[in-house]
């Protein structure tokens, strides 16, 4: 199974001669594959390398320095997530990756601010410039994601602006994943990140170019998907699958981990908390925030502990 390869110069320009053909590729990616790649966006490979380097320098800090911004102390996805803090597959062990999360922070007087998706960020004191580089990247990938949503809307037969008013105050999460070399003690149930489908709508993934990501295709089992910095790997999540009534599919993927360390940077893009993501014609509303919460509670070891108390 080939993963469709899209070029932003065609896909983001409705006047481009290859625009319609690009939309057809997105339709195929959305309906049949769940994954595609995207090159030639507004972000150069140097921009992405700088971001990867920032995360790398953070992850190389001693564990007790990183623990100063440990997200387990907050109950929100903000700051550092230690190895084994997430279990994305209940049949596997918790993942051996570590993460750093940041997202949209709303001011306290915003009515949506009380939701965990808009919690204050927890920026580390070092590396210097971490906050500005990562926040700058957040803005850039937000813009790319909004352009992508126009294309996805059209690819599934909706007007281009279908999603436009639903992604202000997005529940967006920018994550750095650090996979150390696979631990010597790792066994069959240990993964960098175990098999899962993403929970939200759209994921834009940058990687350092090292192999590791595997995607479960319907025809050929697990296949590797690699991209050099500057090419994004795009995939779709469970919320968009529900919302589109199955016109977009969420495909399982995983990282087993190998002898080299690896860094990847997913940007998980989701609508505003109160957007109704029930499929068209459904009797009951389903709020985007509730859709996400149900999955988060299953995944975070610290939220499972909180739920028990
Ligand atoms: O590291 C990767 O390539 C994939 C990461 C991933 O699937 C995730 O963070 O949801
Ligand atoms: Fe994922």
If you average pLDDT over every residue of the chain, what do you get? 94
196 CA distance to ligand 2 centroid (A)?
Answer: 6
Mean pLDDT along residues 23-35: 97
Which residues fall inside 5 Å of ion ligand 2, going by CB? 198
Residue range 115-125, pLDDT digits in tens: 999 999 999 99
Whether pTM > 0.90 for this model: the answer is yes
Residue 74 has pLDDT above 90, yes or no: no
Residue 308 has pLDDT above 50, yes or no: no
Structure tokens at 309: 């108390």
Instruction: Kindly provide the ipTM of the predicted complex, given to two decimals.
Output: 0.99
Residue range 136-149, pLDDT digits in tens: 999 999 999 999 99
Q: Report the pLDDT value the prediction gives residue 299, as an integer from 0 to 100.
A: 66
Residue range 179-223, pLDDT digits in tens: 999 999 999 999 999 999 999 999 999 999 999 999 999 888 999
Q: Which residue, 92, 56, 8, is CA-closest to 299? A: 92
Indicate which atom in ligand 1 lies nearest the CA of residue 212. 3
213 CA distance to ligand 2 centroid (A)?
Answer: 9
Domain residue ranges in the chain? 5-307
Q: Report the pLDDT value the prediction gives residue 305, as an integer from 0 to 100.
A: 54
Best residue among 198, 250, 264, 295 to mutate for probing ligand 1's pocket (most ligand atoms within 8 Å of CB) is 264
Residue range 206-216, pLDDT digits in tens: 999 999 999 99
Mean pLDDT along residues 253-260: 97
Supply the CATH classification number for the domain 5-307. Answer: 2.60.120.330
> Which residue's C-alpha comes closest to atom 4 of ligand 1?
213
With residue 24 as reference, give the H or E element that holds it.
Answer: helix 19-28
Q: Report the pLDDT value the prediction gives residue 304, as an integer from 0 to 100.
A: 60
Considering the chain, what percentage of its residues have pLDDT values greater than 70? 96
Structure tokens at 230: 């500057």
Q: For residues 28 and 242, give the distance between their C-alpha atoms in angstroms, rounded to a whole number.
A: 18
Residue range 42-66, pLDDT digits in tens: 999 999 999 999 999 999 999 999 9
Residue 242 has pLDDT above 80, yes or no: yes
Best residue among 98, 266, 267, 295 to mutate for probing ligand 1's pocket (most ligand atoms within 8 Å of CB) is 266
Q: For residues 13 and 224, give the distance between their C-alpha atoms in angstroms, rounded to a whole number.
A: 30
Mean pLDDT along residues 251-260: 97
> Which residue's C-alpha comes closest to atom 1 of ligand 1?
264
Q: For residues 60 and 142, give the distance between their C-alpha atoms in angstroms, rounded to a whole number.
A: 27
150 CA distance to ligand 2 centroid (A)?
Answer: 22
Q: Which residues line ligand 1 (CB under 6 A)?
A: 175, 177, 193, 198, 205, 207, 212-213, 253, 255, 264, 266
């Amino acid at each position: 199974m080939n993963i469709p390869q899209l070029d932003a110069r065609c896909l983001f320009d409705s006047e481009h001669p290859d625009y319609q053909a690009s939309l057809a590729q997105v339709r195929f990616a959305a309906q049949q594959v769940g994954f595609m790649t995207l090159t030639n966006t507004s972000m150069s490979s140097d921009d992405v390398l700088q971001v990867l380097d920032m995360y790398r320098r953070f992850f190389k800090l001693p564990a007790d320095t990183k623990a100063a911004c440990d997200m387990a102390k907050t109950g929100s996805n903000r700051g550092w997530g230690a190895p084994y803090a997430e279990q994305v597959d209940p049949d596997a062990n918790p993942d051996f990756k570590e993460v750093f999360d940041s997202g949209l922070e709303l001011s306290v007087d915003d009515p949506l601010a009380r939701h965990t998706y808009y919690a204050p960020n927890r920026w580390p004191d070092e590396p210097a410039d971490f906050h500005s580089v990562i926040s700058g990247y957040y803005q850039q990938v937000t813009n790319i994601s909004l352009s992508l949503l126009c294309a996805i809307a059209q690819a599934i037969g909706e007007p281009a602006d279908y999603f436009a008013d639903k992604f202000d105050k997005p529940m967006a999460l920018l994550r750095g994943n650090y996979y150390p070399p696979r631990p010597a003690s790792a066994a069959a149930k240990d993964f960098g990140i175990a098999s899962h489908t993403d929970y939200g709508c759209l994921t834009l993934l940058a990687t350092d170019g090292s192999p590791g990501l595997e995607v479960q295709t319907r025809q050929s089992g697990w296949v590797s998907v690699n991209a050099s910095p500057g090419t994004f790997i795009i995939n779709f999540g469970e919320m968009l699958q529900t919302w589109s009534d199955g016109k977009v599919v969420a495909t399982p993927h995983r990282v087993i981990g190998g002898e080299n360390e690896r860094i990847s940077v997913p940007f998980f893009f989701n609508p505003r908390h109160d957007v109704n993501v029930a499929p068209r014609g459904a009797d009951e509303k389903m709020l985007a925030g509730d859709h996400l919460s149900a999955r988060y509670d299953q995944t975070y070891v610290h939220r499972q502990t909180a739920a028990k108390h």
